[in-house]
Chains A and B, each alone.
Chain A
Amino acid sequence: MANPLLDVSWDQCLLEPAPDRQAEAALRRDTGTAPGWIRYFLSCPWLPRAAIRLGMGNQMLVHLDFPTADLIALVVSQEHSCRYCYAVTRMQLRILGMSEERMQQLEQRLASGELDPKAAAAVRFARRMARSTPLVTPQDLEPLREAEYSDAEIREIAYVVASISFLNHIATIPALPPQSWEQLADRWFIRLFRPLFARMIRGMRKHGQRASFARPPEGPFAGLLLQFEGSPIGPALASALDDLWASPILSRHCKALMFAVIGHGLGCHRFSDEVARVLEAEGQAPADTEKILAHLGGPGVDADESALLAFARDTIWYEPSQIQRRARELRKRLSVAQFVEALGVVALANSVCRLCAALPRQP
């Protein structure tokens, strides 16, 4: 059984990579790296920055071990049928020394559930949180506690699911080409220099240090962010959200409505309450919000915004080929920067909504 996602039908990529030396240098200064795939997203500066910062390779994990995080990455990418992210994780594991045979054994154990009880609990939770029906709840954390994960590890498990889900969305919706990653581990130069590449990957996958917010979060989702107090996750997530709201490509009002649609579709009240506050701050009357959410259009929403709301709704539950077709239709009516920002908005909203639903509200 080779890569189990190879059968997933995948459209032509909707975006062209657009190299931009200046932007890439700025990103390298900010995050320490500028991998090739960010060139698809450079028209919306906050998105590549968030994608790098929120990734596991950016010393986000303090407590959780990397083998568990890798298992979660495989399972979540499988759940979302993301050929791109699955191929990247698979390639990393192969370079880190896992033979194709061991990789296949791992995939079979994932399929049949033959894992050690602790890993199995993490995998079950990851599947549960990645799905939209029914939405994950704090009760779903109980089996993780029973499997003797600490509270800090549990928060990191939830974060890994959210972070991989974010990357899955930005890779699947525009159909980033997975083929090169799928074949990369077997290329002669990778095989020849495997120890060197493995060293590079290990260098990137270090555990992070405790970190604090530069200033306590006060805006939307402050309650969620404070649950990651002391972890590098909190400041990284806060910065991604701040950058999203501050970006001028799509209006803040439109982005908040896209968040609201995802909260409404997933049925997460905690997330919806937070977004309602953003919309109120934007001068949107709650009664109008209700009308807009009921039919994805209405007072003060133009045709492009209405299309963006329908698109946000489509990203809650999707088949790759279906969402890629709909994204292609949306791409025709937006500029590249608007389209890329819309990708980032739906990706972050889906992830943050699942985090809100999974982690218990702090008193």
Chain B
Amino acid sequence: MNHAYSLLLIVLAAAAGLFFWQQHRLRMLRARVETSAVELQRLQQSCALLAPAGVVERLFSDGAESIAEHKVFTAMFTDLVGYTALAERLDPKTLAGVLNGYFQLVSDSVTEHRGRVGTFLGDGILIFFGALEPNPWQCDDAVQAALAIRAALDRYNAELEVAGLPRIAIGVGIHRGPGLAGLIGSRDRREYTVVGPTLNLAARVQALTREHGRDILLTESVREQLDPRFELMPMPAVPVKGTGEPVVTYAVVGGREGRARIKEEKAGLRIEG
């Protein structure tokens, strides 16, 4: 009899042990699922900074291959003028500090005007407007951003001078046209970006800033869409590699507020002081 009771107790103890062990495993599993859900949410939120929310959802549901579409967007290419000379004059640590300051001011100005920094290419920066979200005001935004970069660079140069460092100058090229937007890259590394001849022409227009002695140049396709209140100056047409005909560009002289102010002053509407 005692033997039977002992056996029953052992079976009951084993069943209870099994039950609690299963409960423990279930709790652990639930905790892991919850942690994964939180991580997934964080990952989705992080990805949303790099690509539109719809693209992130499609990436999670359909995979990277499904994400590619043609878009009309505005590309801006900025580059440091005289980087080689600057690199020769400064020690690496100081040079890195100067460069980081320049990258930051461009980034801030672009974000403020609804652009997205696409890629850092050495001392150059590729920027998109209207590539991620539809933006009917993309040309105005791009030129406003370029003017904001110009103003921020003036302030930055004043700081560099105080620190006994050389001033820096940049060239900005802006062009609007079609491109392929999508997750592009190798099997191991991809990024949401735009590719196509629009980018090449923006880069070549940027190179023309040296030839014309102007810091911001834009093409005819940008001018057509641009607010006429921006002050532009036409530049002579110049042959550019990769295009059949010479490219007409316009230098950006001033913003739309400037022209409005001049107009008001001419009309005697503005009272200073």
Contact = CB atoms under 8 A, between A and B. Distances in A.
A313 B37 contact: no
A110 to B, nearest CB: 9
Contact of B38 (A111, A114, A133, A317): A111
A267 B137 CA distance: 12
A133 B136 contact: no
Contact of B134 (A105, A133, A296): A133
B229 interface: yes
A215 B227 CA distance: 44
A1 B36 CA distance: 12
A313 B137 contact: yes
A210 interface: no
Nearest to B52: A133
A4 interface: yes
Interface string A242-270: 00000000000000000000001101000
A122 to B, nearest CB: 16
Contacts of B140: 295-296
B38 A265 contact: no
B133 interface: yes
B54 interface: yes
Contacts, number: 56
B10 interface: no
Contacts of B225: 294
Interface string B223-249: 001011100000000000000000000
B160 to A, nearest CB: 27
A99 interface: no
Contacts of A112: 33, 36-37, 40-41
Contacts of B136: 264-265, 267, 293-294
A296 B133 CA distance: 18
Interface string B103-139: 0000000000000000000000000000011111100
Given A1-B38, A108-B34, A111-B37, A134 B54 contact: yes
Contacts of B37: 108-109, 111-112, 114
B54 A133 contact: yes
B38 A131 contact: no
Contacts of B134: 133-134, 265, 267
Q: By DSSP majority rule, is chain B's interface helix, strand, loop, or mixed? A: helix
Nearest to B230: A295
B168 interface: no
A264 B228 CA distance: 19
Contacts of A134: 54, 134
B38 A294 contact: no
B52 A297 contact: no
A212 interface: no
Interface string A120-143: 000000000001111000000000
A111 B53 contact: no
Interface in A255-306: 264-265, 267, 293-297
Contacts of A295: 137, 140, 227-229, 256
Contacts of A4: 41
Interface in A129-185: 131-134
Interface residues of B, number: 23
A264 B135 CA distance: 9
Interface in B168-223: none
A297 B54 contact: no
B227 A131 contact: no
Nearest to B111: A322
A111 B54 contact: no
Given A295-B140, A297-B229, A132 B133 contact: yes
Contacts of A265: 134-137
Interface string B130-173: 00111111001000000000000000000000000000000000
A267 B133 CA distance: 11
Given A297-B227, A297-B229, A108 B52 contact: no
Interface in B233-273: 256
A76 to B, nearest CB: 13
Nearest to B112: A322
B140 to A, nearest CB: 6
A91 B37 CA distance: 22
Contacts of A108: 33-34, 37-38
Nearest 7 CB-CB pairs, A to B? A295-B227, A111-B41, A112-B37, A108-B37, A133-B133, A111-B37, A1-B38
Interface of A: 1, 4, 104-105, 108-109, 111-112, 114, 131-134, 264-265, 267, 293-297, 313, 317
Given A111-B37, A133-B53, 8 more contacts: A1-B34, A111-B40, A112-B33, A114-B37, A134-B54, A267-B136, A295-B140, A296-B137
Interface of B: 33-34, 36-38, 40-41, 44, 52-54, 132-137, 140, 225, 227-229, 256
15 contacts: A1-B38, A104-B34, A111-B38, A133-B54, A133-B134, A264-B136, A265-B135, A293-B136, A295-B140, A295-B227, A295-B228, A295-B229, A295-B256, A296-B140, A297-B229
